[in-house]
Structure 1
Amino acid sequence: MSLRLNKNDLFLTGMNSVVVEERHPQADFPTHDHDFDELVIVWRGNGMHIWNDIPYPITCGDLFYINARDRHSYESANELALDNVLFCRERFRLEADWAQLLPGENASQEQRYWRLSTLGMSVLRDKVDELAKECMKSEPLSVQLSEALLMQLALLLLRFRHRPDSGVLPDAHQLDLLLMALRAGIAEPFHLETFCQQHQLNPRSLRALFKQHTGLSVMNYLRQLRLCRAMSLLRYGNKAIGDVAAECGFDDSNYFSVVFNRAYGVSPRDYRQRFIAQAKKTPPQPFSLIAAD
């Protein structure tokens, strides 16, 4: 059963249209929904975001546009820091194309999952902090300023976000390049030294930078991506275990089973059986690291 979060418990007054809930850190949190929409911006650390039953491995730079009707939860949180920017569309007073600025019910789930560049995150950090301070005031001018700051934040998100599978990112930071390469190459062997040679980077420095921002080593993060993809394929597909292993970058299906069992305490076959009945009733969309147009 999903936990329900209500705007009356979180917004300062019935006039305020936006509030920032800082989660530094974000602990594991059970499945919940709410009667407001929200932006989720992940600043550092890692974990698992289960969004409408679809698992997403999350780390610094992940961006989600969550609708009021969505169900989501956080699992396996590890030094995870994020901000939830909550907003009530029905309270907006400024004239704007809010459906474009903050994609909602008319946008698919894949259209509401993005990545942020390192440069973008540094710009957005200041804007979120400014909004967090202003939205804690109840006088009419502050209510209007908060909404105006939300509009600025939404515009900046449009400027700095990119699709998770994007191969080209202007002004890309070395961390952005690495994260994109890992997400795009789940099924293929990955060698950090080769990647660094291609981009003229220092492997030792890049390892340290990656650990600082994500809380994981490069290979542990890649393993998390692969296992998350495997969870979705097992839960919502009917491919053979060996084919799932190959699609997720495991050459040996026995080794895949060992790694999966070690991570989740259950074999891939038993994990699939757990969801067969549920999948037959209401087959949901499969997990993807790629955002659609």
Structure 2
Amino acid sequence: MPGELILRKADFFASPDQAVAVADRYPQNVFAEHTHEFCELVLVWRGNGLHILNDRPYRITRGDLFYIRAEDKHAYASVNDLVLQNIIYCPERLTLNLDWAAHIPGLHGSHWSPHWRIGSSGMAQARQVISQLEHESNRQDVLSGGMAELLFAQLVLTLSRHRYATDNLAATDREALLDKLITALAGSLNRPFTLEAFCVQEGCSERGLRQQFRSQTGMTISQYLRQLRICHAQYLLQHTEQMISDIAMMCGFEDSNYFSVVFNREVGMTPGRWRHRSRVT
């Protein structure tokens, strides 16, 4: 397409042989839709933003993990203190004898589910490996490339061990309270969520949890859940023929009129207009 933004290997890798590198985003600013000549792993450390991947919106925050293929188009919008890291890599340059496709969704045509979550324990382990990987990928000695690839393999396996589906509350049994809350919210898109009941179940302070959530994500709990529901509604409006009233119910809004008011406030247009525009652009 004319004017399509493509991120080139030569601009991000130190040499034509380098297989992997780390691209910090402290913070990640608004970034126009683009594709790459390489693949990347995206791990979100804090803050929030809107990640639009292949026309699907995702409200992202701490612990979100994405596997991005070279041909995927994505963009970042509505960012708020969004801190993430991109681990970029060229599959054809990897030399280590590892079944990479078994651990990286979408690689070489393997089953692809782009969006996952990583709990606090997995994030801590990944952060250590990424720090070492970044150090090695910036070195120029004869062993740095091999060391970087070994660390990338360790990172890929660490993420494979600790990742879980975004709404899989059972997977967070041993994770931090904030991980459990974010996962519970992702699993409550089509039904009411009561923070008081969650806190009783977990034996925690509601006030303290509210403060912790806002500190890490930059949003209130209700804002985050509302935006998750709106993102889900946008996907359904674009990719299904469901009536708007039915989509409202599927996204946790019992009153379709109220849904339209909230959608208009968050997106800047009515659900019907957004559906029409998303299908003609």
State TM-score, norm by structure 2.
0.95
Whole-angstrom distance in 2 between the partners of 1:105 and 1:66: 12
Aligned length, in residue pairs: 277
Which residue, 149, 152, 155 being the options, matches 2:154? Answer: 152
| 1:95 equivalenced with 2:97 (yes/no) | yes
Whole-angstrom distance in 1 between the partners of 2:111 and 2:271: 29
Percent identity over paired residues: 44
CA contact (8 A) 1:131 1:146 kept: yes
Whole-angstrom distance in 2 between the partners of 1:36 and 1:68: 5
Structure 2 counterpart of 1:248, one-letter code: C
**Which fold has the larger relative contact order, with Cα–Cα distance below 8 Å and residues 6 or more apart in sequence?**
1
Task: For residue 138 of structure 1, report the CA deviation from its aligned partner.
Answer: 2.2
Which residue matches 1:243?
246
Which residue matches 2:22?
20
Whole-angstrom distance in 1 between the partners of 2:132 and 2:185: 33
Task: For residue 29 of structure 1, report the CA deviation from its aligned partner.
Answer: 0.4
Which residue matches 1:270?
273
Which residue, 218, 221, 225 being the options, matches 2:221? Answer: 218
Root-mean-square deviation over aligned CA pairs: 1.3
Which residue, 135, 138, 144 being the options, matches 1:136? Answer: 138
Structure 1: runs of 5 or more not aligned: 279-293
Whole-angstrom distance in 2 between the partners of 1:66 and 1:2: 17
Which residue, 168, 172, 177 being the options, matches 1:174? Answer: 177
Task: Map residues 11-90 of structure 1 onto 2, 5 A cutoff.
Answer: 11-90=13-92
Whole-angstrom distance in 2 between the partners of 1:8 and 1:142: 19
- Partner deviation per Cα, 1:34-77 (whole Å, 9 max, x = no partner): 11111000111111111111111111111111111111111111
Whole-angstrom distance in 1 between the partners of 2:68 and 2:132: 22
| 1:163 equivalenced with 2:165 (yes/no) | yes
Task: For residue 203 of structure 1, report the CA deviation from its aligned partner.
Answer: 0.5
Whole-angstrom distance in 2 between the partners of 1:80 and 1:200: 30
Task: Map residues 174-193 of structure 1 onto 2, 5 A cutoff.
Answer: 174-193=177-196
Structure 1 counterpart of 2:185, one-letter code: L
Whole-angstrom distance in 1 between the partners of 2:30 and 2:163: 26
CA contact (8 A) 1:61 1:116 kept: yes
- Partner deviation per Cα, 1:227-267 (whole Å, 9 max, x = no partner): 00111111111211111111111111111111111111111
Which residue matches 1:282?
none
Q: Relative to structure 1, is the Cα distance of residues 167 and 273 closer, same or farther in structure 2, using a 3 angstrom cutoff?
A: same
- Partner deviation per Cα, 1:159-200 (whole Å, 9 max, x = no partner): 111111213124121111111111111111111111101111
Task: For residue 277 of structure 1, report the CA deviation from its aligned partner.
Answer: 4.2
Structure 2 counterpart of 1:249, one-letter code: G
Whole-angstrom distance in 1 between the partners of 2:212 and 2:30: 25
Structure 2: runs of 5 or more not aligned: none
Which residue matches 2:260?
257
User: Which range moves more in the overlay, 121-130 or 32-41?
Assistant: 121-130
Which residue matches 1:203?
206
CA contact (8 A) 2:102 2:110 kept: no
